[in-house]
Amino acid sequence: MGLLEGKKLLVTGVLTEGSIAFHVARLAQEQGADVVLSSFGRQFRLTEVIARRLPAPAPVIQLDVTSAEDLEALAGRVAEHTDHLDGVVHSIAFAPQSIMGGNFLAGEWKDVATAIEVSAFSLKSLAMAAKPMLTVGSSIVGLTFDGRFAWPVYDWMGVTKAALEATSRYLARDLGPAGIRVNLVSAGPIRTTAAKSIPGVSQLEQGWPERAPLGWDVNDPVPTAKTVAALLSDWFPATTGEMVHVDGGVHAMGA
C-alpha cells in the first residue's frame, strides 16, 4: 500500500520534466494517488504533453490564479474528474526580470504587485477556490525559497516568498478548524525553468553544495518532491503552519 493510496490531488506548476511539481505528481501516482494537473495560456499545451510522461494519465484543467473566473470555476472543473480533494500543491511563482538580478532599488510597484499576486496571494486564492472540494484531514503544500534572508539577485522575488510564508501561516490558522493543513517546503536552488529565468541565478547556486552538510545537487528535484509527497500524506496529521527545509542543511549553518 502506497503512502498516498486513494488520495485525490490537484498539482499546479507542471511545465517540464525538470519541474519539482512534475516529480511530485509522478511520486504521488507511484504512491497510489489520483492526480489532476492545472495549467493555463501558452503553458497549457506543454503541460498536456508532459503529463503523458507520468506513470498514469492525468487530466489537465484550466487555472490562471489571477483570473476570478478560473478560480470560481475551479471546483467544478475538478469535479469533472473526482468528487473531492485530499491535497493541493501550490507550485506557482512569477516575477518580472526587472525586479530581480540586482534591481531591488529600481523595482517599480506595478511589477512588484504582479509578483506578489502571482507568487504569494495566489496561495490564498487557490486554497479558497479548492476549499469546497477539500476533505477533513486534507493538506495544502506550497513551495518556497527561504524568505527569511536577503539572497543575491533574488530581490523582490525574495520579498514575495516572505509574503508567501506569512500567507501560509495565516491560512493554517484559519483553515485549521476545517481540518485542512497548510505547510511549505523550502527547497535549495534547483535548476528548474523558473530558476533559470532569474538573472544571475548562478550566484544563488554558488557554493551551496559545499555549504550543505548533506551535499546538494542543483539538478535533482526528487528530494524536494518526496518531502512534498510526505506532507500530503496522513503521516503529518498535527503539523500545520510549518516550513520544512530541503536544502541539504544550509539553512542551519552559520557560514
Tell whether 61 is in a known binding site.
no
Cell of 215: 551535499
Tell whether 92 is in a known binding site.
yes
Instruction: Order across the sheet with 134-144: list the strands.
Output: 60-62, 34-39, 8-12, 85-90, 134-144, 181-187, 243-246
Q: What is the four-CA torsion angle of 163, 196, 56, 185, rounded to 10 degrees?
A: -30
Tell whether 190 is in a known binding site.
yes
Tell whether 13 is in a known binding site.
yes
Tell whether 75 is in a known binding site.
no
Question: Long-range contacts made by residues 194-200, C-beta under 8 angstroms, separation at least 24?
Answer: 194/93, 194/94, 197/97, 198/97, 198/100, 198/101, 198/153, 198/154, 198/157, 199/97, 199/100, 199/101, 199/102, 199/153, 200/101, 200/102, 200/152, 200/153
Q: How far from the centroid of its chain's Cα atoms is residue 156's Cα?
A: 18
Tell whether 191 is in a known binding site.
yes
The kind and range of the H/E element at 161 are: helix 155-175
Q: Which residues on adjacent β-strands are paired with residue 243?
A: 184
Residue set of the binding site for substrate = 95
Residue set of the binding site for NAD(+) = 13, 19-20, 64-65, 92, 161, 190-194
Residue set of the binding site = 13, 19-20, 64-65, 92, 95, 161, 190-194
